[in-house]
A and B are shown apart, each in its own frame.
Chain A
Amino acid sequence: MEEEINAICSNGSIIRFHEVTKVYPLPGGDVVALDSVNLDLDPGDFVAIMGPSGSGKSTLLNLMGCLDTPTSGELCIKGRNIRGMSDEELTVLRRDNIGFIFQVFNLLPLLTALENVQYPLILKTGNRECQDRCQAVLAAMELDESLYSHKPSELSGGQQQRVAIARALVNDPEILLADEPTGNLDSKTGTAIMALLDDLNRNQGKTIVMVTHDPAIARYARRIIRIVDGKITDTEG
């Protein structure tokens, strides 16, 4: 059995869903959020996930982000099966390999822009003297240096999303998971943010998985996966 799982996980995919089912037990009856999903993402992929509300997009993204584990089936992240992993193992896997970008930015309100970027790096390395790395990442996000000491509430939406992307990138993860990354931005800022993600994918080889409702945004991806009622119905690209 273990050999079989090892074989499933060692096909070279950076993310692999093999017959993954996710069921949420609710008082009114079980809800099947994902139903026997099979999906392979290779390193350097840029994938957009589309589908109606409640179709299972977020569940798919949460499982990829090790925030949840499958009810059945195997889910491999970087060749490691996450089913059966402890919460601490999942957290470390997430911290070191996965960057999250949220629709509402989700910066920590008590910290400055620079500190928000420093936080995951300190978690990983334990080193508080990591300003150079953080400043470099923020600079790459084209955030003005004068804003580094600003709290999130003092930044515009676009600036906050740049900080959030810098935070997602600071530990140099191979995988970036973006949940409607332009959903709260105007079209001009959204385009700039997408250009940044596109650049990260093309020039740094980051694997990006993005949930979006917007077909124009989805076109930045090289692959579009459509999901309905917990099943992948269509793959483009």
Chain B
Amino acid sequence: MHSRMFFDFARRNVRLHWLRSLLAVLGIIIGVVTIVSIGILGNSLVLAISDSLSTVGDSIIVSPHAGGMGFGGGGSAPELISDRDVEQIRRAVAPHVTIPVYSGASRMKIGNEDTVGVVYGLKSDDIPILLELAEGTYLRGSSSAMVGARFAEQNDIKVGSRITVGDKGSLRVVGILKERGMGFDINPDYGIVVESRWFEDAYGQDGYDLVIVKVKDLNQIDEVKVEIERQLNRRETVVDVIDTRAILDTILTAFGQISTFTTAIGGISLIVAGVSILNIMLMSVTERIKEIGVLRSIGTKRQEIRRMFLYEALILGLIGSGIGGVLSIFGGYAVSLVMLQTTEYLFVPSSLIYIAYGIAFGIGTSLLSGLYPAWKASNLNPIEALRHE
């Protein structure tokens, strides 16, 4: 019952000094909106990156060993992955799928326009495992090609268009691929995909540039990786084996840390708001010294005085954080739209939780800011307080 009375007391005092209360609340609102908006932006960024990369999160990439290419390392290009090596990988990872990939960059002519693009050589059977079709069909015959979404868009390529690849011959476009996003294995969005036999004939390459292993069960990634290393790198390191999930985790962790860091910077505005509350509460204590003396003389305990002032800070924090929480939905919407050009990640739980965090931090900061003034008020000497003019 005391609590209700002290809360009521605090509420009246907040109302009495409405202008400075309003300014303190405004500080908290700004602080909460800032940290929540930045938090939502960071989380949306991580989710967007995660979405664009997660399609390759189930792969192991085997590439020729790049050792000795550094300073004074001899400068020789890494060898390619032979058919024998591919077979060894296939045996080692069975029943998971092994996809050998040729790749190279080439000048291309589309209509009268010259351009440069990446050419990937894949076996026809492997293509549907790795890539999705947006329109047209998968490869039909060795002189057909599929084109990445961005490459098609930039060069105005349609199904039926013809592409001349350097002096290697002309290819008819039979399909446009769905946009795949950035990958650690291949990036066909900015290139074309051809049948591996055509690539072999055109470039005369006697080995693959990389091998992608699609792991069906993500829990087996480490096991498969170890098995490939055991088979191929027994005597010397022939291939480098990269686990895309680990790379993905590292990237997401890095972005998560950046997000936390920027949110923490946003938190500075909340600290400033806290200092403002501290200042306002100290002013309140100074103005009410005599009143505190009266309260003490008529039987109010120290802890009750403390509670009264903490309620004031709590009221400011509750109002500021509540309004800030609501406004931060709009703030999050605005920054997501401006920075990421999308708001699709705004209402996912991992973004919305930032509103709860923001409100909690707002209230916490207010209470922390009220601690010292409350302590100061409760420790005033009642006699000196009563004498205060």
Chain A residues packing against B (C-beta within 8 Å): 62, 65, 67-68, 87-88, 91-92, 94-96, 100, 102, 106, 108-111, 119-120, 122-124, 126-128, 167-168, 171
Contacts and interface: CB of A to CB of B under 8 A. Distances in A.
Interface stretch (B9-17, B65-73, B330-338): B9-17
Contact of B5 (A87, A92, A119, A171): A119
B297 A128 contact: no
B290 interface: yes
Instruction: Please indicate which of the listed interface residues B9, B296, B304, B382 has the most CB atoms of chain A within 10 Å of its own CB.
Output: B382
B294 interface: yes
B296 A128 contact: no
B383 A94 contact: no
A80 to B, nearest CB: 16
Interface of B: 1-2, 4-5, 9, 12-13, 16, 290-291, 294-304, 382-383, 386
A62 to B, nearest CB: 5
B389 to A, nearest CB: 10
Contacts of B297: 65, 67, 94, 100, 106
Contacts of A110: 9, 12-13, 16
Contacts of B301: 87-88, 91-92
Given A62-B383, A108-B291, A110-B13, A91 B1 contact: no
Q: Can you list the 6 inter-chain pairs with the closest CB atoms, starting with the nearest?
A: A95-B299, A126-B1, A106-B294, A110-B12, A91-B301, A67-B382
Contacts of B383: 62, 67-68
B28 to A, nearest CB: 23
A49 B301 CA distance: 28
Contacts of A120: 298-299
B298 A100 contact: yes
Contacts of A108: 291, 294-295
Given A62-B383, A106-B290, A91 B295 contact: no
15 contacts: A87-B301, A88-B303, A92-B301, A95-B300, A110-B9, A110-B13, A110-B16, A119-B298, A120-B298, A120-B299, A122-B1, A123-B300, A124-B299, A128-B4, A171-B299
B291 A126 contact: no
Given A108-B294, A110-B12, A122 B299 contact: no
Nearest to B300: A123
Contact of A127 (B1, B296, B298, B304): B1
Given A106-B290, A108-B295, A123-B298, 18 more contacts: A62-B383, A67-B296, A67-B382, A67-B386, A91-B301, A91-B302, A94-B298, A95-B300, A96-B299, A102-B294, A102-B386, A110-B9, A110-B16, A111-B12, A120-B298, A120-B299, A124-B299, A127-B1
A109 B16 CA distance: 10
A25 to B, nearest CB: 13
A126 B2 contact: yes
A111 B5 CA distance: 11
Nearest to A63: B383
Contacts of B296: 67, 91
Contacts of A94: 297-299
